[in-house]
Amino acid sequence: MKNAKRIALLAMVGALACTTVGCKAITVSSLDEKLEDTILESLWDLIKDMLDLDVELEEAQEYLETLEEEVPEENGQLSAEELKEFQDHFNQEEFNGLLATDYHKPEDMEWELVVYSGGIGYKVEDGASEYDAYCQFSGYDFGKPIIIVPKNDLEEFAKVNTGVDYSAATKPLKEAFLEDFDAYAFYHVDSLYRTYEFTEGTKDGDTYTLTYKSTGEAEGEDEERILPKQVVVKKVDDNYQVVSNLTLWETDANPAHTGEISIPQCTGTCKLVQYNPAEGNANKGIEFRVIEDDLLVAKLPDYTYADKDERLWTEVDDIQLFDFTGDNKADAVITGKKDGKPYVGLYKYDNDGFSKMTDLANKTSANAKAKNDYSIDCAKEFLLGDNKECKFADYKEAYAHIAHLAELTEDDYKFELALINDDDEPELVQLSPNNLLNIFTFKDGHVETLLCDYYLFDSCIIKEFVEKANFVLFTNYHERNGGYENEYVILEGDEEYEIYYKEWNEETADNPSYASSYKDDVSREDDHVASQEKISELDQQIFQDFQLNLSPSDVYSALK
């Protein structure tokens, strides 16, 4: 048949069939269901006569079905069946980790979370050559299986499923690299696998925008509420490549304290989002998120560190973000009620997010309690006085302010003034009751944190620093294996530091050493060798012991 006749044939069959059976629309595949064979044959004979065709009915049906298959898929809303296809795809272990992290573009996905979901690599146990190599590299025998991720497999997986070379990753896998096996190795017990439910989606050409929600328990009941996310994928051949994956942060948000804010630690579009207590979950109260360009900056409360009662804010009157710790980063003050009692919560911001300092409403030293005024304005006056910008003329003013904040918590903080970096002004060393160690320096009117980390000071038998060298050393005794570990920390400013370790056992004189870095944790064999030389160099330094015997009031006296 010529093309014109074929088109006419399709139109005539549809028109005549619809006229006969009274249908609004009919497909070739459904003709046999709606018309008796005799009626269909009669229609076909009529069409043949009208178009002078020499084509049998069976041949025409086969051809029309071929035309149906060539009709392009329509854009618009996806059907339940299509959503199920995506749901099944991303619930496969191989692809599950592609949704484990938020990103605007695939270059920014966090590959550690991708591989922890279990889709790449293989497990090896004690006795395997890879296992032995990893234990020798790390200095530990974990006694449990480890994960091996061949470099070629990782690169191929990235290219196929993101369309981007793995070398472009801004958050690459930060694990030990075994040169002999050309593979990454890491110890990880639990998978981060989640179960996803896809609820809606649209199609635009080869690009799909899909809304989904995690229905598994990977987050745990103590984590933040589970919000829906939106992933954009592109169909390439028979595979789907992820384009972006972002949380829909303002879902079910309370508009009372939701909106754009301006704080020093955010340079993009920044929002504060408030959520009401989650229905049916007694472990969750009012919550807040700080979002920059659709990515999470911090959350309040932080379930990782907060006590259970911190999760149960029942009423929030106000929340303001401003700097009251002097580091030019906005902290948070929240006023309201918990269990019917006034609450004025102070939350300090650092690079890991917000952490609770104290509740001013329960502190006798706070003038807020004396005035029976629990407003943020009153708290701000108490914290800052006339220094509204929380900026200081010199290090003495700055360190006195830090001591003042520690004092009002009424906790047992210890301090020391020590010359740690390479200038002539001392640094302030602060040890909190929960063994969080901070080393502060003064720069351009503000406090800068050189070091913020947890150290088990009960087992830390030596705490030393090298004067004016940006260098501290901690020696820990491990009862488990009767050995020792030196942790050499080289400080570089604003919480950037590089760490080298040395482990040994006095009885065996075994001294394996290895290196890691907070700036680049991808350890390789050449780094391992270099660390031996670096540690030998560091061991030649002249050390001084940390004293940490000053109280907040002692700091005032020392700074006069």
pLDDT digits (tens, 9 = 90+) for 119-162: 788 889 888 999 988 887 776 677 888 889 999 999 999 999 99
Tokens, residue 338: 């918990």
Neighbour count for residue 167 (Cβ, 10 Å): 9
**CB contact set of 461 (below 8 Å; sequence gap of 6+):** 475, 476, 477
pLDDT tens digits, 354-384:
888 888 877 755 554 556 788 899 889 889 9
pLDDT for res 30: 45
Mean pLDDT of 375-397: 92
Peptide bond just before 172 cis, omega within 30 deg = no
pLDDT for res 503: 74
Tokens, residue 93: 């272990």
Reference 429, options 449, 445, 405; nearest CA is 449
**CB contact set of 49 (below 8 Å; sequence gap of 6+):** none
Q: What SS3 class is residue 382?
A: helix
pLDDT for res 24: 38
> Does pLDDT of 71 surpass 50?
no
Q: Are 189 and 144 in contact (CB under 8 A)?
A: yes
pLDDT for res 308: 52
Mean pLDDT of 61-73: 57
Mean pLDDT of 55-76: 63
pLDDT for res 407: 86
pLDDT for res 519: 53
Distance CA 463, CA 450 (A): 16
Q: Are 376 and 382 in contact (CB under 8 A)?
A: no
> Does pLDDT of 70 surpass 60?
no
The residue that leads in pLDDT, 119 or 324, is 324
Where residue 3 falls among pLDDT bands split at 50, 70, 90?
very low
Distance CA 418, CA 466 (A): 10
Mean pLDDT of 300-328: 75
> Does pLDDT of 265 surpass 50?
yes
Distance CA 66, CA 77 (A): 25
- Give the range among 1-5, 187-191, 232-236, 336-340 with minimum mean pLDDT: 1-5
Distance CA 6, CA 3 (A): 5
pLDDT for res 157: 96
pLDDT tens digits, 516-534:
655 554 444 556 566 778 8
Question: Regarding beta strands 436-443 and 446-454, do their DSSP bridges make them parallel or antiparallel, or are they unpaired?
Answer: antiparallel
Tokens, residue 511: 């001294």
Where residue 536 falls among pLDDT bands split at 50, 70, 90?
confident
Q: Are 142 and 125 in contact (CB under 8 A)?
A: no
Distance CA 430, CA 390 (A): 19
pLDDT for res 18: 47
pLDDT for res 88: 96
Reference 350, options 433, 264, 452, 261; nearest CA is 452
Give the predicted TM-score (pTM) of the model.
0.76
Reference 271, options 244, 298, 246; nearest CA is 298
Q: Are 276 and 286 in contact (CB under 8 A)?
A: yes
Q: Are 467 and 420 in contact (CB under 8 A)?
A: yes
> Does pLDDT of 334 surpass 70?
yes
Q: What SS3 class is residue 386?
A: coil
> Does pLDDT of 220 surpass 60?
no
